[in-house]
Structure formats: C-alpha cells, structure tokens
Structure 1
Amino acid sequence: MRRLILEEPNSASAIWARRLAVFAIALAGMAVILVRTRAADATAGLSVLGAAIFLACASLLLAGAAAVTIWRMGLRGVGIAVAAVFLALIVLAYPGWLAVQAVRLPVLNDISTDINDPPAFARSARALRGRGGFVPPDVPAERRLAQRRAYPTIQPINIDLEPEEVYQLVLRAAAALHWQVVDQVPPGGRAGIGRVDAVDRSVIMGLPDDITVRIRPLAAQTRIDIRSASRVGRHDFGANASRIQRFSQEMQTQLDAR
C-alpha cells in the first residue's frame, strides 16, 4: 500500500511579501530611469518612488506576518519571506538614510560659503538657457544662520594666486567634478570679479542642482565663494554642503598639480 505524503503549503503572506518586494524594486528602478533620462519630471518620478517605498514597507509587514504563521502553523516559505525582506530593504536603504539625515540636519536646500553676501546666480541668456529658465530664489538671512551651526567647516577659499589663475583652476575643478558649466565670466572690470555658473546632478535620481562660484581679488590673495542650491525639495539632506567640500578638495588637488 502506497503512503501519501502531504507537503505543507507555502505561507500566502510570504508569497505576497515577495511579490510586493519585486514590484517595489521594479517601480523604484522605473522612477530612477524616468527621472535620469528626463522622460518624466522630478515630481512624477518621486511619486513613483514613493509608491515603491510604500510597497516595500507593506512587503516587510507581510514578511513579518508570514514569520508568525510559519512558526505557529508549520507552513513552508521561510526562504521566500527572507527574500522578500532582502528585496524590500534594498528599496528602503537609501530612503532610510535620507530620513536619518532629515532628522540630523536643518531644513536647508541652499548653502553658501558666504552667508552674509552669498554669490548671486547669473541671469544671462546663456545661464538661463543652461538652467532651463530657472533661477534659484534668494534665501532669507535668518535661514542661513542654521547653516553656520550645521556646517561650520563651509568657509571661503583664499588662494595666494592672481584672480586669472584662480579662474582657470576653478574651470578645471568644475570639469574634474563633471559639472555642466552654463556660464562663465573671467575676472575683470572695475571690481575684478569673475564668476562660473554650473549645474550638477544628484547621484541616484540625477536631479539638477545649481552652482555659482565667485572669484574676487583681495589685497594679496584671491577669494573664492561658492553657492550650491537644490531645485527639488526643501531639504537637501546635506548634499550641497558635501558638494562644496568636494569642490574645496578638488581645488587643492588642482593647486598641487600646478
């Protein structure tokens, strides 16, 4: 007489957890591709990403429910639930890091090395064309005070070179950082001030951020002030301060290479 061996079924919660996690990864990838290729604007892309985050959270909840039913009822599906958790955490890792930054840092999206007289963004036809007609708005002085407490190392750069030499170094640093220069004015005129305006993009979503660098002669030095502003969102999560620090490091690299 043949014995019939019945296998326990897989947990339905585990199966749905994995399905939602896979769908969340697909949505997150779609959001990144849509924004980076400019097939959709930032608002639409971030909405899709928000849906992916919601699905990833739902997947984690279902995976937790699956763990309970598997433990109590002896169902199969441990591997499926673990896979769901792993996939969901891939989607949630970067948003989770941003959440930590949002709590840790003040709500700022415009950072400058000179908070009393920040460099102004160019409004020339070339600059407006390069920025798609966008001009970053001015920031109230009281909001910039929070920058001083959060980013005390963001300071002007003073270099013992002539403004024309510093201007060339700034252009080289911008090229090394893969910035898109949208306007440039060499030092000259009565004030001797030069300027470089550029656009940089965020690493993952490719969102545009605007940069302006002011080159101003001093008595025996040249002073560089840089301002970096995000176009999307009220909180930059520290991205603009990090960009300014990378620029300062690249300027030192360019100086060492002279």
Structure 2
Amino acid sequence: MHRRLVFEEPVSRAAIWSRRLAWFSLAVLALSLLLVRLREPSIEGLAPVAGAYVIVLAALALAFLAFIRIWQSGHRGVGMAAGAMLLSLIMLVPAGYVAVRLVTKPALSDVSTDIEDPPAFSRSQAALAARSGRVPSDIPSERRRLQRQAYPKVVPILLEVPADAAFNLARRAATGLGWQVLETTRPGGRSGAGRVEAVARGRILRFSEDITIRIRPRVDGSRIDIRSASRLGSHDLGANAARIMAFADEVELLMEAR
C-alpha cells in the first residue's frame, strides 16, 4: 500500500508578520493611551500615541504586501492578512475621526455663547489652583465669529425664570454632566450676575477643559451664557461646542422636570 504525500503551500511570512505586528501595535496603543491618562496632560505627551499609530500603519502596509505575495505565489495566509488588516483599520478609526474634525471644524479652542462679551474666568485662589494658575486669554472677536457658521446652536440660553432659579439649574446641569464645580456665586451684588466655575475632563485622554457660566437677570426672566476653553492646543475638534450644547440640553431637561 502506497502512501500519498500531500504537499501544502507554505504560509506567507508577510501574512504571519502582519498579524504579529497588528497585535503588537494594539498593545502599544493601549499602553500609550494609559500613559497619557496617568501623566500630566501635554501635547508632547501624545508622542507615544503617534508612535503607536506608526506601527499600526506598518501592520496595515504589511497586510497589503501579504495579499500581493499570496496572489502572486499562491501561498497560504489570507485569513491572517485579512485579520491583520481589519484590526489595523479598526485602530485607525479614531485617527480618521480626528483628521476629519481637523479639516471640517474651525481652528478654535475657546467657544462662548456670547461672542461680543464672553464670560470672564474667575481669578480666585480656588479657581487658579484648579487651573494650575492658568487663566484662558481673551481672543479677538473676529476669531470668535468663526464659530457662528460652524456652531449655529451655540447661543445664549434664555429662560422665563428668575436669575436665582436659573443659577440653580446651571449648577445642577454642570454637576449632572460630571463637571467638577470649583466655585459658585449667586446672582446679585453690584453686577447682578451669578457665576458657576467648573472643569470638565475628557472620557478617554482625560484632558481638562475650563468652563465658566454666567447667569444674568432679564426683564422677562434670565440669560445663561457659558464659555468653554481647552487648555492644550489651538484646535478643540469641536469638543467645546459639543460641551456647551450638552449643557443647554441638560438645562432644558431640568426645566421640563420642574
């Protein structure tokens, strides 16, 4: 009885290494994101994340090379290369999102519902300590007008309730959104305006954003203005506007629940 020898095509080395590199890049990316969360936030601190994405791109390129080699030589490893490509593309989704926001949103890092007279940030000892001594600087009104077209929903919140009630709603909305409330001042006094000073932190990278909310009385109720400013970089990717709109939605929900 003769045995039949079955020869299988070898597995593409490019496919093997593309899978290894894809999983390695996932581990590096996860570790780099963890380091960013644990360290003091800084633009320089994002370097490990950028390095991780270089490895992701290398894994993707190697997966493409594996497909070409498999097509030419008939080697096995299509599944490995496909898995590596899929994993790499999934990791590239956040980077693609950032790229789209960079292109489609104006280069702003400070957004306010009042572009003519933005709320001023507190310079109290508690507020300065929470912001590490930083006070967001005023920016020219012409730059603020960039937000009108990009964020038409970022407008003052007009309420048909007294300023004191609006102040309570603003404070509750800030707390409900998970912001750290630093200090509050009820409406009244010489200016008649109330204020809520807060800090918000991102969910993934935990970058801190400074927020100040101003409550002013009106003849027929009250007006709430909010300003949100990023601490790092000159482009917030639309985060500050999104935060302001989330605050407006929270105030509306609290008004409906009254």
**Range class of TM-score, shorter chain:** over 0.9
Structure 1 segment 173-252 matched on structure 2, within 5 A: 173-252=173-252
The alignment partner of 1:228 has SS state of strand
Would you say 1:46 and 2:73 are equivalent positions?
Answer: no
Q: Which amino acid aligns with 1:15?
A: I
| Distance 1:44-1:22 versus aligned 2 partners, 3 A rule | farther
Root-mean-square deviation (CA), in Å? 1.5
8 A Cα contact 1:32 1:45, kept in partner = no
8 A Cα contact 1:23 1:52, kept in partner = no
TM-score by length of 2: 0.94
8 A Cα contact 1:18 1:81, kept in partner = yes
8 A Cα contact 1:52 1:91, kept in partner = no
Q: How many residues get paired?
A: 257
Q: 1:198: Cα distance to partner?
A: 0.8
TM-score by length of 1: 0.94
Distance 2:45 2:16 in 1: 28
Structure 1 segment 26-41 matched on structure 2, within 5 A: 26-36=27-37, 38-41=38-41
Q: Which amino acid aligns with 1:62?
A: L
8 A Cα contact 1:163 1:217, kept in partner = yes
- 1:40-80 CA distance string (max 9 Å, x none): 53334411111111111111111111111011101111111
The alignment partner of 1:42 has SS state of coil
Moved over 4 A (4+): none
Distance 1:64 1:7 in 2: 23
Would you say 1:21 and 2:19 are equivalent positions?
Answer: no
Distance 2:253 2:62 in 1: 51
Distance 1:137 1:16 in 2: 50
Q: 1:133: Cα distance to partner?
A: 2.1
Distance 2:92 2:131 in 1: 31
Distance 1:19 1:226 in 2: 48
Structure 1 gaps, min length 5: none
Structure 1 segment 95-174 matched on structure 2, within 5 A: 95-174=95-174
8 A Cα contact 1:34 1:40, kept in partner = no
Distance 1:28 1:211 in 2: 30
Distance 1:211 1:15 in 2: 49
Structure 1 segment 47-126 matched on structure 2, within 5 A: 47-126=47-126
Structure 2 gaps, min length 5: none
